[in-house]
Structure 1
């Protein structure tokens, strides 16, 4: 799978950028703050997973404009697709593939798949649960159509349940309680299914993640991944019933997959509290490499690799070992200096300044 051609318009600080990308490696060079990461962000949006920087649609649109556009020619398994996205500063983002509107942005994963490595990945090991949930959901969304539909249904039910909790307040009437019973039943069914798939993914990611960690860290260590959900000791339906009074008081749902975590342990100790910063970096990189390998195995195509100024955050040894671990996939690398470790020399360079491509 490759992005052969990319066009972005009114996206972040890019007024109008169009370029062809090398099928193997492209190095994007330019001063910090001039639009290198914005270019990678546009590519990553093509798989429907949203901004890897957690940005809202409003911030993706160039100041003073109402819409941004991202268009790309994707070549996948001997087929060519034209993916087009219209991002509204206020409103709904729309996308189409070969002129046909997609029902959900997440369905773009059937065409495009990306794995992003960025400095913020340190939070995979050291940050809060939402970062690790997002990693699991991104992998499942890109490989499991049924999971995508399940997630959409779950998010809808969660919104409806939260709205009802807020409206009902401390003293819900019989009608509100009956409606809450309906939402609880749907929430429990969907939540159990989501947790089951996430749990299975944690197990599946262990071998490739541990293998990658050994190569990156240069030493043997046992990495463990486990799905952490207290409610699974009984059932989600039971947990919801036990939490109902508290949920009504808070006006929100306090238990379920939207609050769960993935625990990462190194040599039997929680990485979040016991791993050094160097170990946490290796863990994060190992999980990204495992994400790529798992996705490639299930989809049959190699996801595009996006490396956003990663090497500046690594010591020489880890940088060299990461190069040795990178898959044989289309890779786009950003660098403020233009210097990258030996072994990842780019076949083409793109120079960006003030959101404009100066040369390719």
Structure 2
């Protein structure tokens, strides 16, 4: 899978730009603030309908414009499809494939798959649990696009139930709407347990699948590390049944029981305390013979970087083994690495079907990633050679 042509209209700093691409390595080189990351961000947006840099769509639309457009010709198994998404801040976005509008924008997710390495990846190990949940759910959806609907449904149910908890909590303190809010809340408990159980079951399965890939990747990128030095475990916010009994049906029952048990606390606090939105990933380093320590708070800066890189490499290898090579995006990562890690990472990913690299200076791009090169300056994208 690779992108053969990219068109942006009113996206980020670009009023209009068209770039012809090809399989293999393509590097975009330019000083910070010239627009090179905007190009690869657009490709990644088509994959996940979200940015690896900002939380909402509004900053992606060029200042003064009402909407933005991202269009890419994607080649897969010799066939080309034109994917495009229209970003409309404050209104519904629209997506098209070969000029035909899709019923739902999220139907675009998974038609092109990307894995992004960026300086922001350090938040995977040093940031709050929301960063790690997002990492898991993005990977889930890339592996099985139907889960975009499950994820969306869970988020919708969570918002509705959280609103009802606030209403019901206030009602218990004297409002007349208490009875109706509590009755409605029990209905949303069932919805939360059903959608939450499916999301939770898929996350647990994904972590099991990812674990051996992470171990191999960390061994490759961390100096002196062994196969058992990096470990990942799912950390649920409630007690789960034994691993052999974690199907969605069983997990739904567990969630319902926990919701009932925590009802009073939830009403007093006005927040939803039960569900996969409260879970985390436990990332640890250390050999099987010695203590395992959490990466967050214990690992050095270099170890943290190695672990974050290993998570992305593990994702790439897992998706590759599922089927097509995802498009690999290396966004300003080489400036953060020493020469040894640069060369090591470059050698590991050079064989991907398409690698898109951004760098401030040409010298930051390792020799193993020689290929097409563009300079980016003041919004102008020019092929070199």
Q: Deviations over 1:191-220 (max 9, x none)?
A: 122111111111111111110111111321
Q: 1:249 aligns with which of 250, 268, 285?
A: 268
Q: How far did 1:245 drift?
A: 2.5
Length, aligned pairs only: 358
Give me the whole-angstrom Cα distance separating, in 2, the residues matched to 1:110 and 1:233. 30
Displacement of 1:55 after TM fit? 3.7
SS at match of 1:352: strand
Deviation at 1:125, TM superposition (A): 1.2
Shift of the alpha carbon at 1:127?
A: 1.2
Mapped pair 1:131 → 2:131: yes
Q: Under a length normalisation based on structure 1, what TM-score does the superposition of the two structures give?
A: 0.95
- Distance in 2 separating the partners of 1:95 and 1:274: 44
Aligned to 2:4: 4
Aligned counterpart in structure 1 of residue 329 of structure 2, from 296, 306, 327: 306
**1:196 aligned partner:** 201
Q: For 2:313, what is the secondary structure of its paired residue? A: helix
The answer to whether residue 366 in structure 2 is matched with residue 341 in structure 1 is yes
**Partners of 2:89 and 2:146 in 1: CA distance:** 30
Relative distance call for 1:177 and 1:27 in structure 2 (3 A) is same
- For the residue of structure 2 that corresponds to 1:95, the secondary structure is strand
Separation in 2 of the partners of 1:105 and 1:270? 38
Contact 1:123 1:131 in 2 (8 A): yes
Which of 308, 312, 318 is the equivalent residue of 2:341?
318
Q: Distance in 1 between matches of 2:239 and 2:78?
A: 44
> C-alpha distance in 2, partners of 1:351/1:145?
35
* 1:165 Cα deviation after fit: 1.8
Query: For structure 2, which runs of at least 5 residues remain unmatched after alignment?
Result: 242-253, 287-291
User: Is the aligned partner of 1:223 residue 2:230?
Assistant: yes
In the other structure, the counterpart of 1:46 is 46
- Cα deviation for residue 322 of structure 1 reads 0.8
Instruction: Please say if 1:330 is aligned against 2:370.
Output: no
**8 Å Cα contact 1:72/1:83 also seen in 2:** yes
The Cα RMSD (Å) is 1.6
Question: Secondary structure, in 3 states, of the residue corresponding to 1:46?
Answer: helix
1:61-210 equivalences under 5 Å are 61-170=61-170, 171=172, 173-210=178-215
Cα distance in 2 between the residues matched to 1:14 and 1:23: 24
The residue that corresponds to 2:251 in the other structure is: none
State the Cα distance separating 1:169 from its structure 2 match.
Answer: 3.0
Q: CA deviation at 1:28?
A: 0.1
From the superposition, tell whether residues 155 and 117 of structure 1 become closer, same or farther in structure 2 (CA, over 3 Å): same
C-alpha contact (below 8 Å) 1:119/1:310 kept by paired residues:
yes
Matched, 1:211 2:235: no
1:355 maps onto 2:379 in alignment: yes
Q: What is the distance in 1 between the residues matched to 2:261 and 2:297?
A: 30
Residues 198, 169 of structure 1: CA spacing in aligned structure 2 closer, same or farther, 3 A cutoff?
same
Distance 1:260 1:44 in 2: 26
In the alignment, is the contact (CA less than 8 A) between 2:87 and 2:93 conserved in 1? yes
Residues 296 and 161 of structure 1: CA distance in aligned 2, closer, same or farther (over 3 Å): same
Pick the aligned partner of 1:274 from 298, 305, 308.
298
**1:52, distance to aligned residue in structure 2 (A):** 0.8
Instruction: Tell me the residue number matched to 2:245.
Output: none
CA distance in 1, matches of 2:138, 2:104: 15
Distance 2:55 2:190 in 1: 33
Distance 1:61 1:329 in 2: 30
Alignment of 1:288-303 (within 5 A): 288-298=312-322, 300-303=323-326
Contact 2:328 2:352 in 1 (8 A): no
In structure 2, C-alpha distance between the alignment counterparts of 1:28 and 1:156, rounded to whole Å: 38
CA offset at residue 358 of structure 1?
A: 3.7
CA contact (8 A) 1:212 1:325 kept: no
Gaps of 5+ in 1: none
CA contact under 8 A between 1:81 and 1:111: conserved in structure 2?
Answer: no
Give SS of 1:230's match. Answer: coil
* SS of equivalent residue, structure 1 residue 51: coil
Cα deviation for residue 163 of structure 1 reads 2.1
User: How far has the Cα of 1:241 moved from its partner?
Assistant: 2.0
Tell me the distance in 2 between the aligned counterparts of 1:13 and 1:55: 18
